[in-house]
Amino acid sequence: MKRRLYTPALVAALLLAGCANMDTNALMQSGATAAQAAMLTDSDVQQLSVASCQDQDSKNQIAAASSTYVKRLANVSKGLPTSVNGAPLNFKVYQTKDVNAWAMANGCVRVYSGLMDLMTDDEVRAVLGHEIGHVALGHTKKAAQVAYSVSAARGAAGSVGGTVGALSKSQLADLGEQLVNAQFSQKQESQADDYSFDLLKSKGYNPQALVTSFQKLAKLDGGQSSIMSSHPASADRAKHIQDRIASGK
């Protein structure tokens, strides 16, 4: 899956260029929404992430606390950070055959049972490290800004103030879907990989699991799994981590 990061300014330009049939007020509001997205505060992003995560939770089957998946995830995540950038990490399992995992800026981390079926505990931990890295490094905040700009401006309706309150139910659902499928840049993906490597090593876990997780994902969908971008390719990412292990750095 190719991932392209759109800045709020570029989103505004694209929206304005493609909305010839919209009236002037709608066009101006689209631009205003994109501009507001660029100025979203950490608090705004937290609100959007909480609402988006709640929307996703309502649409998916969450594994019961007594399930093997939840108990296993609790054990796997035991040595990982409990909070990032002041946001408590909240782990849940979606019961689905899909192979995926994601995190949002508010610390919402969701792992799909299909991924847990595919991977060992060490590999699941490595994937969690990658997703937590996107939060810790501010990638999910930038993704929320872009998603807000696109979701709100598509409707070009309602007040641009109030962030969450300005979005309709359908726009909020659309924003949630965008955050789950956030299109991170190649640089961001590599940074999250390195974050996971450093985290695993600092906690005494074997970073080789990050390599084998990439190798397994590379076999899915011709190397284009829903969880990992193929830019850079999973094989290249595995090699990068393997080189770091070999160098000891």
Which residues are identified as catalytic? 131
Torsions phi, psi of 199, nearest 5?
A: -65, -45
Burial state string for 179-211 with b = 16 or more CB within 10 A and e = fewer than 16: bbebbbeeebbebbbbbbbebbeeeebebebbb
Please name the residues in contact with 24: beta carbons below 8 A apart, sequence gap of 6 or more: none
Q: CA angle at residue 51 from 50 to 55, to 5 degrees?
A: 115
Compute φ and ψ for 91, nearest 5 degrees. -100, 135
Residue with tokens 């290249």: 236
Of 176, 174, 44, the C-alpha closest to 104 is: 176
